[in-house]
Amino acid sequence: MEATEPKTLKDAILYFSKPENCLSYLVARRPEWAKGVVCPICGSATVGFLKNQLRWQCSVRHPKRQFSVKVGTIFEDSPLGLDKWLPCVWLLTNCKNGISSYEIGRDLGVTQKTAWFMLHRIRLAHQGKDGGKLGGSGNGVEIDETFIGQKARNMHASVRARKITGTGGKDKTVVLGMVERGGKVRAMVVGTRKKRELQKHVRENIEVGSAIFSDELKSYDGLQADYQHAVINHAIEYANGNVHTNTMENFWSLLKRGLHGTYVSVEPFHLFRYLDEQAFRYNNRKDMTDADRFDLAVRQIVGKRLTYAELTGNVGETETIN
Ligand SMILES: [Zn+2]
């Protein structure tokens, strides 16, 4: 008899404490296994289930014949159990302002460093498929940029020295955001606020002909050739009828609440992962329960890998697990 799938965090912790429940939950969400589990190496459907180990073994003779449900997912090669991984996915996916590696470490009984790595892997799952351009529905799209970064005086001395030397004191990162009214948001780290860079992203992400709204930044000049571009002059007013960027501002305030309140400090190198995390929650906030959002995050876990070296940019380091 299978237990009902979890609806709350409390249910999830209890449910995923049973390895067979983790297994059935994940198997059911892997499209390539819809007609039965197949070998990830050779594709054979003739696989035997090793009940005691909760693993499968391919009937064809080749290396790595045995595999677990973690194969080909962000959990692959992690020695941590799914009883820790899946509640961690639940927490990050459903906490409105995010959750810090310190909190996860305490909640799940792992080190802060391990928790940090887990959270970044889960953010990779939050990175959605783009699914077409914004504005295609006929709704207007707001465009805005913001700066993210610590003020130098709040930084530890060694960090400050490292950041300020060699970067010309540029300790702020530019983030560009676009949101379709009543629809989805996209946010990305950009190198500069120069026209060429910002307009490239606008054209890649917004359907030609759409109504777009921005502030009076010069870099947006020229978009009126391809878009119905309305500009709000923030020196004078914040809205003029439907001409405003308040939806985008609302997203920035959610993002900054998470970054300043929960995460304390984020290196620019990792910022895009926090953008993915916040955009995932924002884009899946309406008409979805916590269980639905978790289900979606789990479906996005398949087919993604992230090594510690890729994550830190330091090839040769290995993940520490406690
Ligand atoms: Zn095989």
The answer to the question of residue 185 being in a domain is: yes
What's the pTM value of the predicted model, to 2 decimals? Answer: 0.80
Asked if residues 205 and 134 have their Cβ atoms less than 8 Å apart, the reply is yes
Average pLDDT, the chain: 86
- DSSP secondary structure letter of residue 49: E
Tell how far the Cα of 313 is from the centroid of ligand 1, in angstroms. 33
- 113 & 152 share domain: no
Cα gap 75→192, rounded to integer Å:
35
Cα–Cα distance between 90 and 295 in angstroms, integer?
9
Residue 177, phi then psi, degrees to nearest 5? -125, 145
**Residue-wise pLDDT tens digits, 257-282:** 888 777 666 777 788 889 999 999 99
Distance from the CA of 48 to the center of ligand 1, in angstroms? 11
Same domain, yes or no: 146 and 243: yes
- DSSP class per residue in 91-143: HHHH-TT---HHHHHHHHT--HHHHHHHHHHHHHHH-----S-BTTTS--EEE
Would you say residue 150 lies in a domain? yes
Instruction: Note whether residue 28 is domain-resident.
Output: yes
* 185, 245: one domain: yes
Which of 86-90, 103-107, 262-266 shows the lowest per-residue confidence on average (mean pLDDT)?
262-266
- Give distance in angstroms: CA of 56 to centre of ligand 1: 10
Cα(59) to ligand 1 centroid in Å equals 7
Query: How many A from CA of 60 to the centre of ligand 1?
Result: 5
Establish if 161 belongs to a structural domain.
yes
- Ligand 1 geometric centre to CA of 57 (Å): 8
Burial of 264 (C-beta count, 10 Å sphere; 0-12/13-18/19+): exposed
- Residue 148: helix, strand or coil by DSSP? strand
Q: How far apart are the CA of 29 and the centre of ligand 1, in A?
A: 21
43 part of a folded domain? no
Which domain, by its residues, includes 90? 9-36+72-127+305-312
Same domain, 95 and 158: no
Q: Exposed, middle or buried: residue 290 (CB in 10 Å: 0-12, 13-18, 19+)?
A: middle
In a domain, 49, yes or no: no
Does 276 fall in a domain? Answer: no
Cα 49 to averaged position of ligand 1 atoms, centre (Å): 13
Instruction: Give me ligand 1 centre to Cα 23, in Å.
Output: 19
Residue 74 Cα to ligand 1 midpoint, Å, equals: 21
Contact 163/149 with Cβ under 8 angstroms? Answer: no
Least confident of 16-25, 79-88, 297-306: 297-306
Give domain status of residue 251, yes or no. Answer: yes
Same domain, 113 and 24: yes
The rounded Å distance from CA 61 to ligand 1 centre is 7
* Same domain (yes/no): 203, 122: no
Per-residue pLDDT at 50 exceeds 80: yes
The rounded distance, in Å, linking the Cα atoms of 316 and 314 is 6
Segment 282-295, tens digit of pLDDT:
999 888 999 999 99
Q: How many CB atoms lie within 10 A of CB 215?
A: 18
State the residue for tokens 């805005």: 144
- Ligand 1 centre to CA of 37 (Å) is 11
Q: Which two tokens stand for residue 293?
A: 């959002």
> 310 alpha carbon to ligand 1 midpoint, in Å?
28
Residue 7 pLDDT > 70: yes
Could you read off the pLDDT of 295-318 as tens digits, one per residue? 999 988 876 666 666 666 654 433
Q: What values do phi and psi take at 3, rounded to 5?
A: -75, 155
Ligand 1 centroid vs 106 CA: distance in angstroms? 40
What is d(CA 47, CA 165) in angstroms, rounded to the nearest whole number? Answer: 57
We report the CATH number of the domain holding residue 209 as 3.30.420.10
Q: Please spell the DSSP secondary structure of 171-237, one letter per residue.
A: --EEEEEEEETTS-EEEEEES---HHHHHHHHHHHB-TT-EEEEES-GGGTTGGGTSEEEEE-TTT-
CA of 45 to the centre of ligand 1 (A): 8
Q: What is the CA(47)–ligand 1 centre distance, in A?
A: 8
Tokens found for residue 7: 């609806």
- DSSP assignment of 225-280 equals GTSEEEEE-TTT-SEETTEE-HHHHHHHHHHHHIIIIISS---GGGHHHHHHHHHH
Question: What number is the average pLDDT over the span 238-264?
Answer: 87
Q: How many domains does the chain have?
A: 2
218 and 101 in a common domain: no
127 CA to centre of ligand 1 in angstroms: 30
Task: Using the mean position of ligand 1's atoms as its centre, give its distance from the Cα of residue 298 in Å.
Answer: 25
Q: Is 285 exposed, middle or buried (0-12, 13-18, 19+ CB in 10 A)?
A: exposed
Q: What percent of the chain has pLDDT over 70?
A: 84
Question: From the CA of 66, how far away is ligand 1's center (Å)?
Answer: 9
Q: Looking at the structure, do residues 163 and 106 belong to the same domain, yes or no?
A: no
Is there a single domain that holds both residue 76 and residue 156? Answer: no
Query: How many angstroms is it from 317 CA to the middle of ligand 1?
Result: 31
